[in-house]
Structure 1
Amino acid sequence: MQVQEDKAYDDINVTPMLDLAYVLLVIFIIMTTASVQGVKVNLPKASNQPSLAKPKTVAITINNEGKIFMDAVPVSREELAQRLKQKKAENPDLPVIVRGDSATQYQNVIDVLALLGELDITQLGLVTQRLVQ
């Protein structure tokens, strides 16, 4: 029988180290999710103060025929101006979004934008559709 000589190991066995790493990872995940849940408390009720409420956005839509709708109600340009003046008096920072049909004449949208400029409405957004590729 031949006796093997004492040789230094060339390779390091990483299996026990990986086992330890996986166990620590599992413990970390369990402890993190357990601490996120927190403690249950009875939260107080907030009062119904209108000043804390988010201002209602006005939606102006121009369809392909050039008809104007304010919050889904058909209006003329004069009615639109009158209603926007009333809403602007209630809320000076009135947010408005404009939705123009892609088939409508560009001038119809420009007329509405000009009206908003005359009324000094600066919180303005134009709605578009995301391009699908």
Structure 2
Amino acid sequence: MSEGVKEENQLYDEINITPMLDLAYVLLVIFIIMTTASVQGVKVDTPQTINSASLAKPQIRAITITSDGSVYLDAYPVDMASLEQRLSEYKNGNPELPVVLKGDAAAHYEKVSEVLEICKKLDITEVGLVTKKIAQ
């Protein structure tokens, strides 16, 4: 009987960390899911117009220009050379490639002009400009 009492009062040599690791893995998975769910594109403040039409064509490529002049193709940052190269590849796959240009209202017009020149050079004729409709 004295041996049973001795075993109950014995200090633990190790701490079981398995439940803590399980919790850490669950938190890591939740963090990854929440982070990827929040990344949907590049946020810009588009200019406002009275009428705005939406394009609903398949395989539309979106070019975004931020207020600091960064250029994105389908939410991936690109420079002008890689933009031209990738648009050329898309144009070879689809001769009637539609492109949507989404520029921030504070973006430099020079960047917008450069992107439009690339589209003209590649003979991309279906270019739409994204704007917000003014609430009246």
Q: Shorter-chain TM-score category?
A: 0.5 to 0.7
Aligned equivalents of 2:107 and 2:58: distance in 1? 29
Q: Percent same amino acid among aligned pairs?
A: 46
Answer yes or no: is 1:131 the counterpart of 2:117. Answer: no
**Normalization by structure 1: what TM-score?**
0.58
Aligned equivalents of 1:113 and 1:85: distance in 2? 14
Runs of 4+ that moved beyond 2 A: none
1:109 to 93, 109, 112: 112
**Normalization by structure 2: what TM-score?**
0.57
Deviation at 1:107, TM superposition (A): 1.1
Instruction: State the partner residue of 2:87.
Output: 84
Structure 2 unaligned spans of 5+: 1-56
Deviation at 1:98, TM superposition (A): 0.2
Aligned equivalents of 1:87 and 1:55: distance in 2? 13
Q: Which one has the largest radius of gyration?
A: 1
CA RMSD of aligned residues (A): 1.0
Aligned equivalents of 2:94 and 2:129: distance in 1? 20
Q: What is the aligned length?
A: 80
CA contact (8 A) 1:98 1:127 kept: yes
CA contact (8 A) 1:55 1:94 kept: no
Larger RCO: Structure 1 or Structure 2 (Cα < 8 Å, ≥ 6 residues apart)? Answer: 2
Aligned equivalents of 2:107 and 2:128: distance in 1? 18
Amino acid at match of 1:102: A
CA contact (8 A) 1:61 1:72 kept: yes
